[in-house]
Amino acid sequence: MSSFDDTLKTAASAMTAQTLRLRTISENIANANSTAATAGADPYRRKLVTFKNVLDHETGSSAVKVDRIVPDAAPFELKYMPGHPAADGNGYVRMPNVNPLVEMGDLREAQRSYQANVDVIDATNTMISRAIDMLRS
Amino acid sequence: MDLNNMPLLAALTKKINWLTARQKVVSENVGNADTPGFKASDLRPLDFRKELAEVTHSTSPKLAPVTTDAHHLVGTEFATKLQPEIEKITTDREINGNTVSLEDEMMKVSETSSDYQLMTNLYKKQVGLIKTAIGRTGS
């Protein structure tokens, strides 16, 4: 039974990690147009989530954890908007380095991984109830 | 009466333990499907035919204590503690060194689940046969 618990714990840890990744993606998409308020200030910088694999010494299984949330070092895009408060001397505004297409792809990947973990939990639960069913009959 | 003294039930128990251990390994693989550098692993397949033959045809179970004296008692437990052998899959599937194939893992999940159902059903059937042998009052 404890092995089933480990299975569920590992899947749950992965789901938690994917949820945090999804939250970061939503922050990126929401801030896709967040420019600075004053000239010379930086706009919103895209965030990236990295995963790591940690060995749970209690159960001996390898769980998933979010390693770090790091800023994306990609350069900002320039957009010509002379009337904007954040425009520089030439009338260019620095836009966030968020590409909505990349974010949507990332979002799908997180969704699929989450779903895979839910399927594992479903299958494990079925196995547990089948084991309990052995008491019946 | 120890049900595990029956060869078929002992083999079924072993397979059930193997499937439980495999489900754990597969869940680790699925969970780490996006972890850079993670190497997927799998259990070495259990040869059910071999296991069954082993428990059916051997007079003394594997690793049984040797009885050097007539007064020694023979244990009733089979020495079949499952130690699943884990093997790593090392062919890179992604540029970050991850070797998990989500498709393969999901196949394994459903395979493990249905095998588990097969084993528990067989176990139930076997116990049902014993109950029939005991008689009506047994059920």
Chain A interface includes B117 (CB < 8 A): yes
Task: Flag whether the pTM goes above 0.90.
Answer: no
Out of B28, B33, B110, whose CB is closest to A61?
Answer: B28
Residue-level pLDDT at B94: 74
Q: Is the pLDDT of residue A105 over 90?
A: yes
Q: Is the pLDDT of residue B83 over 80?
A: no
| Per-residue pLDDT band at A32 (split at 50, 70, 90) | very high
Q: Is the pLDDT of residue A88 over 50?
A: yes
Beta bridge partners of A48: A70
CA distance A8 to chain B (A): 8
- Weakest mean pLDDT among A46-60, A98-112, B80-94: B80-94
Owner of token pair 């020694």: B72
| Per-residue pLDDT band at A134 (split at 50, 70, 90) | confident
For residues B9-30, average pLDDT: 91
Q: Is the pLDDT of residue A38 over 70?
A: yes
Q: Is the pLDDT of residue B76 over 60?
A: no
| Per-residue pLDDT band at B112 (split at 50, 70, 90) | very high
For residues B81-98, average pLDDT: 73
Nearest CA in chain A to B104: A116
Residue-level pLDDT at B79: 46
Mean pLDDT of chain B: 80
Binding-site residues on chain A for chain B (CB distance < 8 A): 3-4, 6-8, 10-11, 13-14, 18, 21, 50-53, 61-64, 109-110, 112-113, 116-117, 119-120, 123-124, 126-127, 130-131, 133-134, 137
Are A10 and B36 in contact (CB < 8 Å)?
no
Contacts of B34 in chain A (CB under 8 A): 18, 21, 51, 109-110, 113
Q: Is the pLDDT of residue A43 over 60?
A: yes
String of b and e for B60-70 (b: at least 16 CB within 10 Å)?
ebeeeeeeeee
Q: CB within 8 A of A122, min separation 6: which ones?
A: none
Q: Is the pLDDT of residue B95 over 90?
A: no
Nearest CA in chain B to A14: B31
Q: Is the pLDDT of residue B22 over 70?
A: yes
| Burial (CB count within 10 angstroms: exposed 0-12, middle 13-18, buried 19+), residue A1 | exposed
Residue-level pLDDT at A123: 95
Mean pLDDT of chain A: 90
Out of A10, A124, A130, whose CB is closest to B120?
Answer: A130
In percent, the amount of chain A with pLDDT more than 90 equals: 61
Cα radius of gyration rounded to whole Å, chain B: 20
Q: Is the pLDDT of residue B57 over 80?
A: no
Contacts of B109 in chain A (CB under 8 A): 119-120, 123
* Dist. CA B9–CA B123, nearest whole Å: 7
Complex prediction ipTM: 0.80
For residues A100-112, average pLDDT: 94
Residue-level pLDDT at B82: 53
Q: Where are the alpha helices (DSSP H) in chain B?
A: 7-31, 48-57, 102-134
Element (H, E) at A80: strand A77-80
Residue-level pLDDT at B96: 83
Are A14 and B110 in contact (CB < 8 Å)?
no
CA distance A114 to chain B (A): 9
Nearest Cα neighbor of B126 from B9, B2, B7, B11 is: B9
